[in-house]
Chains A and B, each alone.
Chain A
Amino acid sequence: MTNGGFHPFTLSDLVNEALSEGVSLGEIALRHECEFSGISRLEAVRRMQANLDVMRSAVQQGLSGRLRSAGGLVGGDAAKVEEYKSRGLSGDHILSAASRALAVSEVNASMGLIVASPTAGSCGVIPGVLLTVAERVGADDEATVMALFAAGAVGIVAASRAGISGAEGGCQAECGVAAAMAAASAVQLAGGDPEAAAHAAAMSLKALLGLVCDPVAGLVEVPCVKRNAFSAAIAMIAADMALAGVRSVIPPDEVIDAMGAVGRMLPVALRETAEGGLAATPTGKSLSARICHNLGDLSGITIGREERGDSGKTREPEGLS
C-alpha cells in the first residue's frame, strides 16, 4: 500500500502483500477498501453482506422460472437446468453454478434486483459460482463475504488495467472478468492460497479471451444470459485446476493486460453495438426488427389516458406479474 488507494497496482502486488501478511486476498482487498473509501471495516463488511443478500434473493427469484424478460427473448432456462441437474453429464456443482448464473441473469433481463458484478450484463457469474462453492464447502456468510472481497480485488485490477465494459473490450471484459473474479473467490472459499486465487482468475480470463459482445437487438438477453452460465462453468473448472496446483504460464497481470489489448483490437461491430456476430445473423436481425421500436413510426405512445383520435397509439400500462 503506497498511495492511499488501489491505483496503480497489480494483482501480483496484492498477492505478495497477502502472502507476506499471512492473510487472504480478500482481507487485503478489504483493508485497501477501508483506506481508500475512509469507511470502517464493519461498514465495508456490512455493505458487502448487502450485496451477498441481493445475490442470494436474485438466485431464488430466478430459479422460480416465472420470469419473462423485457425484450421477450429469455426466461425460464434457469429452472430447466435446475430441474435437470441431478441427471446431468457435467456434475451437480457445475450445473448448479450454471443454473444460478442463468437465474440471476434472467432476473436482470426481467427488470429484477441484481448486483452489477462487475456489470449488469455479467451479474450472474459471481453469484452462480460463489453460492455453489459456499454450499459445497459449507462456508458461512462471513467467509463468503470475504471471498467477495477477493473477487473485488481481481475486478479492480481488471478495471484499472484493461476496462470492464463490453463497449470498450467486448464480452471478455464483462463475462471474462466476472469469471476471473468468481474463480478467485471460489479458490479462497475452498481454502486455496492467494497465489492460487490469482492463477484461477488468470486461467478463467484466458478461456474467455477474445469473446465478443454481440447482443441481439442491443439487449442484455441473447447471448448474454447463457454466456453468464458458461462463464460460471469456466470459473468452476479454473478454480479446480488452480486448487489442483495448475498455474498459468502467462502471469495473471499479463493475462489482464492481454485482455485489454485484445479488446482494443476488436472491431467496433463486436463491441456492444449490435452490428456484428450473433446480432447480425438473419435471425438476430429479424428479432431486432420485431423488438425494437420502428423509428419510421413517429406517432406517440400514450400511457394513462384514453386514445385521442389519431394522435397516437394507446398502450396498456404493463408490468411483469
Chain B
Amino acid sequence: MGTSIFEIIGPIMIGPSSSHTAGAVKIGRLARAILAEKPVDAKIDLHGSFARTYKGHGTDRALVGGLLGFGPDDERLRDSLRLAHEAGLQVIFQFPDLEAELGPLHPNTARLTLKGQNGLTVRIVGSSIGGGRAVVTRIDDFEARITGEYPALVTLHRDKPGVIAALTRILADAGINIAGMTVSRTGRRGRALAVIETDEAIDSSIADLARAHQGVERAIVIVP
C-alpha cells in the first residue's frame, strides 16, 4: 500500500475539518442516494463529537448540504441550511441517546430519517471515519456497510432462495465484477438487504432489472 501525493496535498475541500465537515457531507450524500429521490423532510440525530461540536465544525450544514447533493468541495455548503429551506427540505436536528438504542457507535455518527418527494422513506446511520471518508452502517433495521468509494447495488428484498443468484446474474450478464457483497436480514425468511459493491460502474438500468425480479422491493444504485 502506498500513498498518492494528492492525498497529502489535497483534497480540495470546504473546511474546517475532514472528519466533521467533509465526512459529514459524504454521509448526507449517501443518505440521499439510498433514499433515491429528492428528500423533503429530514430528521437528523447527532451523536458523540458530532452532537457536541456540530456548530463550530459546520457538521449540520455539511449533512444538509450532502442531502441537497452538494460535494465536499461545494462552496454552497456554508449556506446549505438556508438553501434547504428554499428547496423545500425541512430539517430538524435532535440529540437522543443513540447508543442506548443501537449499541456502541463511532463518535462521529449521525442518524438520518428521510422522507422523499414521492413518499419514500428511509432511516440510515452513518459515521465519519477520518480523512473525509464515511460509511453507512445501517439502513432501516438492517446492518450495512456502504462507503460510496465503489459503485454499489443495494436491494431490499424478500429473504428466499434465488434472489441473490438473480442479482449476481444480472451483474454478470452486464459484465460487472463484484468487489464485495454483504447480506443482512432481520430474521429467517423475512426481508433482507443486500449491498453489492462492484469494480465497474453500474447503470441505473441494472436497478430496473433488479426491481423487475420477483421478491425485490427496492433496488438502488450508489454512484461513487
Chain A contact residues, CB within 8 Å of chain B: 4-7, 29, 33, 36-37, 44, 47-48, 50-51, 54, 69-72, 107-121, 123, 126, 148-149, 151-153, 155-156, 159-160, 164-165, 181, 217-221, 291-293, 295, 297-298, 300-305, 312, 317-320
Contact = CB atoms under 8 A, between A and B. Distances in A.
Contacts of B9: 48, 51, 115-118, 126, 148, 151-152, 155, 181
30 contacts: A70-B55, A70-B58, A71-B55, A107-B15, A108-B15, A109-B15, A109-B16, A110-B16, A111-B14, A112-B14, A114-B14, A114-B15, A115-B11, A115-B12, A117-B8, A119-B18, A120-B16, A120-B18, A126-B9, A155-B9, A220-B16, A292-B55, A295-B52, A303-B64, A303-B91, A304-B91, A305-B90, A317-B82, A319-B78, A320-B78
Quick one: which of A7, A71, A164, A220 has the most chain B CB within 10 A? Answer: A220
A114 B21 CA distance: 12
B100 interface: no
A116 B2 contact: no
Interface of B: 1-6, 8-18, 21-22, 46, 49, 51-58, 61, 64, 73, 75, 77-82, 84-85, 89-96, 130, 132
Contacts of A44: 5
Contacts, number: 196
Given A219-B16, A304-B84, A70 B5 contact: no
B15 A36 contact: no
A139 B17 CA distance: 31
B5 A218 contact: no
Contacts of A218: 49, 52-53, 56
B45 to A, nearest CB: 9
A72 B79 CA distance: 16
Nearest to B6: A47
A175 to B, nearest CB: 15
A301 B93 contact: yes
Contacts of B82: 317-319
